Structure formats: C-alpha cells, structure tokens
A and B are shown apart, each in its own frame.
Chain A
Amino acid sequence: MAKDRASRSEGTSSVVSFGEMLIDFVLDVAGVLLVESGGFVKVPGGAPANIIVAITKLDGCSTFVNKDFIMDKHHESSASKFLEDVWCFLRKCFFSVLSFGPMPKHIAFIMDGNRRYTKSRNVKKDAGHRIGFTVLTSVLQYCYEMGVKYVTVYAFSIDNFKRQPDEVQSLMDLMKEKIDELLMEESVVNKYGVKINFWGNLSFLSEPARLAAEKAMASTARNTGPVFSVCVAYTSTNEIVHAIEESFVEKRDRMQERYCNGYTDESIWADNMDSVISVTDLEQHFYTADCPDPDIVIRTSGETRLSNFLLWQTTFSHLQNPVPLWPEFSFRHLIWAVLEYQRVYPYLEHKRSSSKKKH
C-alpha cells in the first residue's frame, strides 16, 4: 500500500480542483441532527478543497488550484495546516496595511445576538452561545495579531440574572466549561500569554463558574502578553458603588492604622473623609484601574445602547453598532471597525486630551 502510494505520487495528478478555500462550521459530534447538536468546530472546507481531501483519503492524487496558490497535497492534516497558514498570511497582509493608520489599543465588545441567532436558525438552545464563544476566540486572535493589547467583552450583566432560572443555570455551566477551555494548552490564551481578568460581582456566579474564573485569573496573573477582560455579573453602576465602598474601606483601614500607631487626632479622620471620594479615588478603585479606556466599543446586532457597560470608561470611546449578530461577526467586520476608528481618530484624540486637562 505504501509502495503504491509512493509510486503514484511521482506521477501526474489525476484530478485538478479549482476553487476557493473556505472555513466551515461542522458538528462537534458526528451523527447527530443539527437541532440536537451541542456545538460546532471550525474546519477548512468548501467543495473544491473537500474533493481533494476525499481523493487523498482514497489514495488518489490531486491538485488544488485557486487564484493565488497551487497546492498539491496527499494528507488531510497537511491540507488543513496549509489552508490555515495561507489564511494567517492573508491576515498579516491586511494588518500591515491597517497599521499605516492609528491602531486602537483597547477594543470592547458587547456580544449581542447569540439567542436571536439560535432562534433564526432553529437550532438547539445554547448553540448560539457556543458558536458565539468560537467567534470570540477567533476575534481575540485577530485582535492580538493586529497588536490590540486590551480586549474587553460584556459576557453577562447583573440584569441577565432576571432571565429564566434554567437559562441562567445553563449559562453558568457554559461559562465554567468555556473558562476551562481557555486555559487549555492549545488555546489563544496560552498562544499569546494572555492575562485574563474577570470584572464584576463574582459572588453572584454559581460556585463552579466563580471558582473557574478565579482559577483562570490566578493562573494567568503573571502573564505579560495581551489582556483579556470579561465583564460577568457586571454593571457599570454596580462597579461605581463597589469603587466607593473600596475607597472608604481603604481610607478607614489607613485611619485605623494611624490610631494604632498613636495618632489620635479625630479631625484628621473628618478632614480625610471629606477628600476621600475624588474622581481619582473612584478611578483607582474601578475594576478597570490597570487598563486604558476603550478606544472602540462595538455592540453587534445593530442595537444602539450601552446597557450599563463601562459607562464611565467609554464616554469618549467611538461607539459602533454593526448589524450582524455576534455569531456572525467576522474578520471583515473587525477590519471595517478599525477603518471607521481611523477615520474619526483625529477628532477623538483632540477631545480626549481636552478631557484629561479638565480633571
């Protein structure tokens, strides 16, 4: 068999396939109906490439031709790797062109539309969220390849706890599962040395989800690569209340330390309580204290509101609301978002520097 294969590979190709390389979403478990599927994985595809792979599996010889490349492969895994390399190269070309203009350092996403995606395609309930996670990992990769250092996503609002209990529980379970996936060897987190933050009132989460989040933060705390922040059990107004409480606690602890060290002048306490809540104090106690404000906020599915997401931090950010639902958000939408940002950048920068002077 091996000898036959070798002799055939020295001859001319018996099948030549012309066409485009595509990326398909296929069921992660074979043999189930689409409506029963729990999830999807990305694989290279498209009919022209699929023909080549099938012929190769049958020990045939074939050649794949598209407008840029001629590929002559005999093994499915090699074909996949090659397609991935080509796609990676194309992305780098796009990013090189983009980098001639100002690039955002921080992009925030409100990932809206998972449930509507599920409904519109009549698939299993949490399929939309699962595909949404797959899209998220792709978008993270594209952002980090582009040089965007900070990516923040609005994954679960405190308001979302008002949904049906079984849906909330399902989302908690999914959250735990996906956080564990992020820490796997082959994930984008390990590839880029990403530091993960979870911002929000984590005590509201189910215990497995909370423990998974804490584990993810602990195990990536020393990473020095890009930063991925997930707002979960979060609202901006809750964050502000949290910042006020933290400011008071910090000040009270400092006062108690001074009393313990022999400083008993009560007027010091009173004076310091007057000055404790400044804009600087608030900003130092936000979850986002170590991150710059977002340059761009993208809310998918065409909705135009912030829904209590980073209200303080996004007041000078460029707001965008592309029509595609989050599971439909793709590379080209991200490129377009950056181009839009570059168009308005001069005015944004002028306004931002004016604001810094005022505080």
Chain B
Amino acid sequence: MDGNSRWAKARDLPTSAGHEAGYRALREMLRLSCAWGIRVLTVFAFSSENWLRPKVEVDFLMMLFERVLRDNIGDFSRECIRVCVIGDSSKLPISLQKLAKEVEEMTRNNSRLELFVAVSYSGRRDIAQACQKISQNVKHGLLEPEEITESLIAQELETSSTEFPYPDLLIRTSGEARLSNFLLWQSAYSELFFTETYWPDFGEADYVEALSSFQKRQRRFGQHIT
C-alpha cells in the first residue's frame, strides 16, 4: 500500500491525511475482495524499515492501526473476516499488541476471507525466525540438519496459518517496482503487478485492471504449457 505520503504532498496536505485516505482505500479493497470471493488478502501496512520515519508519523500510524482494528470489529464479525496481525509485535505499543491479540481471538473462527495485516514486518526476518524455530528442534534432537526441507521452513513462516499462504497476485502501488522485504519466500511464484497509482487512489477500476492482468498471464512454475 505505497504512496500515501506522496499522495498527500501532491495535494499540499499533511502526511496524516494521506494515511487516512489510505485507510479508506483499504476498506474499499476489503469490501471488493469479500464480494469477489478472494480468500486471502495480505496488506503491507508498516515495514521494519518504516520505524526510521519521523516519530510523529510513526506515532500517528500506530494510533491509526488501533483505530482501524477497533472501528471495524463489527464489520469483521458481520462479514466473517478472520484477522491475523503478522510482524515483530514486540516493537508495537502495548495497547496495540493487546488489541491485535483480542481481534485475532474474536475472529479466529471466521472463514469467508482471511486478512493478514503486516505491521513491523520484514520478509527476511520472517525467514530468519522460521530458521530459529527449526534450530530449536535440531537442538532438542527432534531433527537432524540434513532433514531440514523447504516445507519445514514454510510451515514456520508467519503466514502458515492459512490454507493459501502464497499470494497468486502481488500488487504494489505508486510506481515502485520492487518487493521491499515483503513476503519474500511466499511470493516466489507470485504474479507481480506494478501500478503508477498511489494507494489512496487505488479503487475498483484499478483492482479490476490488476485482476484482469493476472487472468491473462500464463503461470508455468518452471514447466512448459503445450
């Protein structure tokens, strides 16, 4: 969800206005995803690199995340959306950590759509923490190093709780053509869609364009389609 700050700057608005507009775009994406039968939606809300932003902006974002979770609890239940917050939660304010756990617990059994919210998330850290868990198994004699497989690592990633942990389509807005430490392992075979549109302006037409582009692609997974 890239481009909130640049969207605001282009309109001579404060950065906070950009993030508020980004929130409205997210609500719309959630509504459309539910309506169109998307089963899993993962959003990159705040990366581990974003902690280096100005403290004022970071504090605003933390409060915004709390407001998003709190204001939408009713919608999550009504629309049967399961919420899962992934990332290094130890850096989040205690109130946000607590609220995230409550929302996850309340929506645990919902199954219409799974919403993964990546906050303080790093794809590299996700892989490293999976390796740490596996090293614990090796340490306790439950596993030999030679027995470590890709499946074992995948099972320990933060997205492993869903039936569909690997995105089919990864959309990055605002014209930046890179992954920036988001779902590294999980997006190995994802179709990438880059759009110049800033996130607050990303609406139904853009979403349709991205999905249409995906439908035209030939996914081969290393083989040939004859």
What are the residues of chain B within 8 A of A312 when measuring CB–CB? 124, 127, 184
Which residues of chain B (110-155) have a CB below 8 Å from chain A? 122-125, 127-128, 131-132, 134-136, 138-139, 145-146, 148-150, 153
Pick the residue among B135, B184, B188, B217 that contacts A273 (CB under 8 A): B135
Using CB atoms, name the residue of chain B closest to A236: B188
Residues 155-166 of A, flagged 1 when their CB comes within 8 A of B and 0 if not, give: 001111011000
The interface-forming segment of A27-35, A91-99, A216-224, A277-285 is A277-285
Contacts A278-B128, A311-B188 given: A317-B178 contact, CB under 8 Å?
A: yes
What are the residues of chain A within 8 A of B134 when measuring CB–CB? 244, 277
**Contact yes or no, B187 A277, CB < 8 A:** no
Using CB atoms, name the residue of chain A closest to B133: A277
CB A313 to nearest CB in B, in angstroms, measures: 10
Contacts A163-B223, A304-B192, A305-B191 given: A276-B52 contact, CB under 8 Å?
A: no
**Contact yes or no, A274 B135, CB < 8 A:** yes
A303 interfacial contact with B, CB 8 Å: yes
What are the residues of chain B within 8 A of A240 when measuring CB–CB? 127, 131, 150, 153, 185
A351→B185 CA distance, assembly (Å): 20
Using CB atoms, name the residue of chain B closest to A246: B145
**Contact yes or no, A315 B178, CB < 8 A:** yes
Residues 220-256 of A, flagged 1 when their CB comes within 8 A of B and 0 if not, give: 0000000000000001111011001100110010000
**Contact yes or no, B124 A316, CB < 8 A:** no
Which residues of chain A (148-196) have a CB below 8 Å from chain B? 157-160, 162-163, 167
Looking at B123, B124, B191, which has the most chain A CB atoms within 10 Å of its CB?
A: B124
**Contact yes or no, B148 A244, CB < 8 A:** yes
B181 interfacial contact with A, CB 8 Å: yes
A276→B179 CA distance, assembly (Å): 27
**Contact yes or no, B184 A311, CB < 8 A:** yes
**Contact yes or no, A351 B223, CB < 8 A:** no
**Contact yes or no, B128 A307, CB < 8 A:** no
**Contact yes or no, A248 B217, CB < 8 A:** no
B74 interfacial contact with A, CB 8 Å: no
A355 interfacial contact with B, CB 8 Å: yes
A354→B51 CA distance, assembly (Å): 9
What are the residues of chain A within 8 A of B127 when measuring CB–CB? 240, 282, 312
Contacts A312-B127, A318-B178, A358-B49 given: A241-B150 contact, CB under 8 Å?
A: yes
Contacts A241-B149, A248-B138 given: A358-B48 contact, CB under 8 Å?
A: yes
Which residues of chain B (78-117) have a CB below 8 Å from chain A? none
Which residues of chain A (342-359) have a CB below 8 Å from chain B? 344, 347-348, 351, 354-355, 357-359
**Contact yes or no, A238 B150, CB < 8 A:** yes
What are the residues of chain A within 8 A of B184 when measuring CB–CB? 311-312, 315
What are the residues of chain A within 8 A of B223 when measuring CB–CB? 159-160, 162-163
**Contact yes or no, A315 B222, CB < 8 A:** no
Using CB atoms, name the residue of chain A closest to B154: A237
**Contact yes or no, A244 B123, CB < 8 A:** no
**Contact yes or no, A319 B192, CB < 8 A:** yes
What are the residues of chain B within 8 A of A248 when measuring CB–CB? 135, 138, 145
A282→B159 CA distance, assembly (Å): 21
**Contact yes or no, A308 B177, CB < 8 A:** no
**Contact yes or no, B180 A351, CB < 8 A:** yes
A112→B51 CA distance, assembly (Å): 38
**Contact yes or no, A358 B187, CB < 8 A:** no
**Contact yes or no, A307 B122, CB < 8 A:** no
A277→B152 CA distance, assembly (Å): 15
A312→B184 CA distance, assembly (Å): 6
Which residues of chain A (11-69) have a CB below 8 Å from chain B? none
B221 interfacial contact with A, CB 8 Å: yes
**Contact yes or no, A316 B180, CB < 8 A:** yes
Residues 162-192 of B, flagged 1 when their CB comes within 8 A of A and 0 if not, give: 0000000000000011111110110111111
**Contact yes or no, B188 A163, CB < 8 A:** no
Pick the residue among B132, B188, B193, B222 that contacts A162 (CB under 8 A): B222
**Contact yes or no, B177 A316, CB < 8 A:** no
Which residues of chain A (276-322) have a CB below 8 Å from chain B? 276-279, 282, 303-308, 311-312, 314-320
B11 interfacial contact with A, CB 8 Å: no
What are the residues of chain A within 8 A of B191 when measuring CB–CB? 304-305
Contacts A159-B223, A305-B189, A307-B222 given: A277-B128 contact, CB under 8 Å?
A: yes
Listed A/B pairs (7) with beta-carbon separation below 8 Å: A162-B223, A240-B131, A277-B135, A279-B128, A318-B177, A358-B48, A359-B124
- B interface residues (Cβ-Cβ under 8 A, vs A): 48-49, 51-52, 122-125, 127-128, 131-132, 134-136, 138-139, 145-146, 148-150, 153, 176-182, 184-185, 187-194, 217, 219, 221-224
